[in-house]
């Protein structure tokens, strides 16, 4: 990373510290695209030189040494769900939470299942600890366990999307997790609602622009780049 001042102007364009394949970064990219918030991406490689997220300069941005981090409105925010809620509260146009309190709770329920019950257990730092030999089996176990719960939740909440017929934060979290499931060769046939919603969203311009293959740090040799 290049050295630069930590002083953030409140009127400058937001900067998203992101890694192309990070599902947490991906959620925020989708949310910002849906809300039509212009932003610049500052790529942080999670693998180059042992991981740029561990360098001293980035640790000043995000003490957890993870992505994403968002510099916006003169502030630096970390943790993808906290960032999405900040965007919702400061830029309520094109809302990502329903007005109905029960539907809003269902959105948060699905977010929690994915962001607390699935993704952290198959995150890079955990897989490194588990080891190369066991990481695929480990990831499959936790994704399968979580997707059973997500599918059950969607059976009562889903319309066209995760909760009713409007795109919400739950959809921002679901699509990257489906990508991860495919990456670890999880059998997705038992989850028809998840698959239907994922197919519905894959052609949405905001989701397409946020896809890993469309990120500036996506390796050019990858398929579909």
- Return the structure tokens found at 74: 């003169």
- Please tell me the chain's helix, strand, coil percentages from 3-state DSSP, rounded to the nearest 5: 55, 10, 40
- Return the structure tokens found at 81: 């769900």
* 142 vs 124, more confident: 142
Does pLDDT of 3 surpass 50? no
The pLDDT of 211-217, averaged and rounded, is: 97
Chain region(s) in the chain for CATH 3.40.30.10: 15-93
Please give the Cα distance from 65 to 133 (Å, whole number): 25
How much of the chain, in percent, has pLDDT values that exceed 70?
94
CATH architecture of 101-210: Up-down Bundle (1.20)
**Candidate from 29-43, 150-164, 211-225 with smallest mean pLDDT:** 211-225
pTM over 0.75: yes
pLDDT at 124: 82
DSSP letters, 102-136, are HHHHHHHHHHHHHHHHTGGGGSHHHHHHH-TTTHH
Chain region(s) in the chain for CATH 1.20.1050.10: 101-210
* 124 vs 89, more confident: 89
Does pLDDT of 222 surpass 90? no
- Return the structure tokens found at 73: 């409105």
Please give the Cα distance from 97 to 47 (Å, whole number): 34
Dmax over Cα atoms in the chain, in whole Å?
50
Does pLDDT of 225 surpass 60? no
pLDDT at 9: 64
pLDDT at 8: 63
Please give the Cα distance from 24 to 11 (Å, whole number): 25
Residue found by looking up tokens 């993808």 in the block: 80
Residue found by looking up tokens 């947490």 in the block: 24
How much of the chain, in percent, has pLDDT values that exceed 90?
84
CATH architecture of 15-93: 3-Layer(aba) Sandwich (3.40)
The pLDDT of 101-128, averaged and rounded, is: 94
Please give the Cα distance from 38 to 35 (Å, whole number): 9
pLDDT 10s digits, 40-65: 999 999 988 788 999 999 999 999 99
Helix (H) or strand (E) holding 41: strand 40-43
Please give the Cα distance from 183 to 140 (Å, whole number): 10
Angle, helices 192-201/169-183, rounded to nearest 10 degrees: 110
Does pLDDT of 118 surpass 70? yes
- Return the structure tokens found at 35: 């809300």
């Amino acid at each position: 990373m290049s050295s630069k001042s930590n002083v953030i102007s409140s009127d400058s364009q937001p900067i998203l510290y992101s890694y192309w394949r990070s599902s947490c970064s991906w959620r925020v990219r989708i949310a910002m695209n849906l809300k039509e918030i212009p932003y610049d991406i500052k790529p942080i490689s999670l693998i180059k030189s042992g991981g740029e997220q561990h360098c001293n300069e980035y640790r000043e941005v995000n003490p957890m040494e993870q992505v994403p981090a968002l510099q916006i409105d003169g502030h630096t925010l970390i943790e993808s769900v906290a960032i999405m809620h900040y965007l919702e509260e400061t830029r309520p146009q094109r809302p990502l939470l329903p007005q109905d309190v029960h539907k809003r709770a269902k959105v948060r329920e699905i977010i929690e299942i994915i962001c607390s019950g699935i993704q952290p257990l198959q995150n890079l730092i955990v897989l490194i600890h588990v080891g190369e030999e066991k990481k695929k089996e480990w990831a499959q176990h936790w994704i399968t366990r979580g997707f059973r719960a997500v599918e059950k939740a969607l059976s009562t909440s889903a319309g066209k999307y995760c909760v009713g017929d409007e795109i919400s934060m739950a959809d921002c979290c679901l699509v990257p997790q489906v990508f991860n499931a495919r990456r670890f060769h999880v059998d997705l046939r038992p989850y028809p609602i998840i698959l239907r919603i994922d197919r519905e969203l894959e052609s949405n311009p905001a989701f397409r622009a946020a896809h890993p293959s469309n990120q500036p740090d996506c390796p050019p040799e990858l398929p579909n780049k």
